[in-house]
Amino acid sequence: MNVRLLFPEGFLWGAATAAHQVEGHNFANNWWDWESQPGRIRDGSRSHPGTDQWIRYREDFALLHELGHTAHRLSLEWSRVMPAPGVLDQQALAHYRAVLECLRQYAIEPVVTLHHFTNPRWVEQQGSWRVDQREHFLRFVEEVVRSYRDLVRYWITINEPAVYANLGFVEGIHPPGDRSLRSGLRVLRNLLRAHQDAYALIHALQPEAQVSLAHNLAVLTPATHHPLDRLTAWLHDRLLNHAVLAACAALHPPRLAVGMLRSPRQRRTLDFIGVNYYTRSLVRFAPHRPRSLFAAHTPGTEGPRSLFGWEVYPRGLFTLLCALRRYRLPVLITENGVAEEGDTLRPWFLLAHLRAVHAAIRVGVDVRGYLHWTAFDNFEWAEGLRMRFGLVHVDFATGARTVKPSAWLYARICRRNALEPRDWQEACRQLAAGGASSARGGGEQHV
């Protein structure tokens, strides 16, 4: 990169979090109960106290302001606001008002998620999202939107509905631990209906609101040139990347997904597209894997690997953003990040993905902002505390925060709304010094 890359005026720069992953003190939801079961969390850790942001949010937001962030994605914990059916906790509502007011005081735009993987314990006891929870969820949505519509313009109804359905109800590695494709499809259908109704409710209460869901996108490449692998990758791209978006954008989903996703009321329920992007998978036809829709997914092999084992593949973000032009909607990058033990890969990861975003903008994709995953090291669901995605290191024993080099690099980008050639040079030097690149493609991937 030998030229300065300027982003559009008003571009949102920031990071994303989720309540259960950073707050601590969440003892009334399904994830706290799941963590208490031996063997459910890979490193045996718990979410409390974790990052402890329920207590330390003021100092954390002051730090994000110092780092130049102008937007912050966070979620509201349903089990705090509604600890029992129809019961509202006024102290929790007051706390979240203080949280949102604090963001506004630092001129940071809140992007608020209403469901980010966690359910109140009483919802889980009723059968979770295998049954229609819209009545309860909409009561929660109505209360928080009425309470915070003076503070919040961007609302994310549900985070990664397809991932939630798959990990909890098909693969069984998240609560409630089902392993049934039928359950997963039923859950996804219920979630999308809840999103549609929440979209209408939010706009009735706040007509000027910008409402979407956060949708996980991955590049799906055939593992070989075999026709069955090519067909399987194409079908999975249509189903996993586009069926949900097509249903919510009032377009026709792929035929295999019509019965699962189409609502009786076909209407657009997206004001923008929230994109979560991490990696690429190689897809192979697998006739003995019906629960996986006859496909095996393995990590790509060109780029460096994250601690998760995921391939870092920045050009994929450009490809996927260009594919979203068919929906004719603005885009907000709601998650994009990398897990590593230190901070050698992250600077390069940031620069390479931001170059991909800029390239997409240059060819006409209306990208409005970039929210890095994540602001602070946190509790990474079934992986526990060992997967460090944060721009800021957290000592989970003492709570101490330490700003990583990638956070200072990102801060300079945020403040000037641009990438400079020296940013790329610095990131590549750090990557080389850390030995994080793979044998192929680790240093430079063109978009």
Residues with a known catalytic role? 160
Is the CB of residue 214 less than 8 Å from the CB of residue 334? Answer: yes
Q: 410 to each of 105, 305, 434, 447, how far by Cα in Å?
A: 21, 21, 19, 20
Within 8 A by CB and 6+ apart from 81, the residues are: 88, 89, 92, 93, 96, 140, 143, 144
Is the CB of residue 235 less than 8 Å from the CB of residue 255? Answer: no
Q: How many CA atoms lie within 13 A of 173 on its CB side?
A: 11
Strands in 44-153 per DSSP E = 71-75, 109-115
d(CA 388, CA 278): 14
Q: 350 to each of 124, 284, 367, 371, how far by Cα in Å?
A: 37, 30, 16, 11
d(CA 313, CA 374): 18
Is the CB of residue 117 less than 8 Å from the CB of residue 164? Answer: yes
- Three-state DSSP state, 207: coil
Is the CB of residue 156 less than 8 Å from the CB of residue 212? Answer: yes
- Torsion angle defined by CA atoms of residues 235, 362, 277 and 351, in that order, rounded to the nearest 10 degrees: 140
N residues, the chain: 447
Of 220, 211, 258, 222, the residue nearest 241 (C-alpha)? 220
Is residue 6 left, alpha or beta, with left meaning phi > 0 and alpha meaning psi from -120 to 50?
beta
Of 368, 327, 351, the residue nearest 422 (C-alpha)? 351
- The first and second tokens of residue 274, run together, are 């929230």
d(CA 430, CA 436): 9
